[in-house]
Amino acid sequence: MMRATAASTELVERHRPEILRYLGRMLHDVGDAEDACQDVFLRAHRAVGRLRADSNVRAWLYRIATNRALNVRRSRARAMARVADVDVDALTACTGSAEERADVHAVRRAVESLPPRQRAALVLRRFHGLDYGEIAATLGGNEVAARANVYQAVKKLRAALGET
């Protein structure tokens, strides 16, 4: 058992920036991501004393953050469309060639309709550099399932571009 000392607090806090970025990517809303991040770290600090010393703290934090993000997404399922349409279009779709804009539009739709666990797995692999063992530790299941989730997600996004 690890005691909630200054060292374990530091162990948790050092991951705050990347967890905040992850929540931003999952929730597409800065305010929601910051709120969710506060919740995640509150929970983490309460629970860190019960964590085994050899635990992968990073994967553990991603797991708490994923659960929080999926809860937020469920509770705002209807409002989500509004947020995504306004914010993300404004951020991503107004630069680049017509073809790139069309790609971004198609991929954004496809990302929004991915099953939440596939989306989480893809974001963790592509943007946070987690390996499949860590993704499995974050989302549950085994490495094979984690990899299958990521590859399925990529194939669905590719299919959204249609024939090229």
Is residue 85 close enough to count as binding another protein by CB under 8 A? no
Indicate whether 150 belongs to the interface with another protein (CB under 8 A): yes
Q: Give dist(CA 144, CA 67) in Å, integer.
A: 21
Q: How far is the CB of 111 from another protein (least distance, A)?
A: 6
The SS3 of residue 107 is helix
- Stretch of 12-20, 59-67, 73-81, 135-143 contacting another protein, by CB under 8 A: 12-20
- How many helices (DSSP H) and strands (DSSP E) are in the chain? 10, 0
Q: Which residue, 30 or 42, is less far from another protein as judged by CB?
A: 30
| Number of Cβ atoms within 10 Å of the Cβ of 71 | 12
Between 57 and 160, name the residue whose CB sits nearer to another protein: 160
Distant-in-sequence, close-in-space partners of 38: CB < 8 Å, separation ≥ 6: none
Q: Shortest CA distance to 47 belongs to which of 36, 32, 63?
A: 63
Instruction: Tell the residue number behind the tokens 């073809």, with chain if given.
Output: 99
Q: Which residues bind another protein (CB under 8 A)?
A: 14, 17-18, 20-21, 23-25, 28-30, 33-34, 87-88, 91-92, 96, 100, 103-104, 106-108, 111, 122-123, 125-129, 131, 147, 150-151, 154-155, 157-158, 160-161, 164
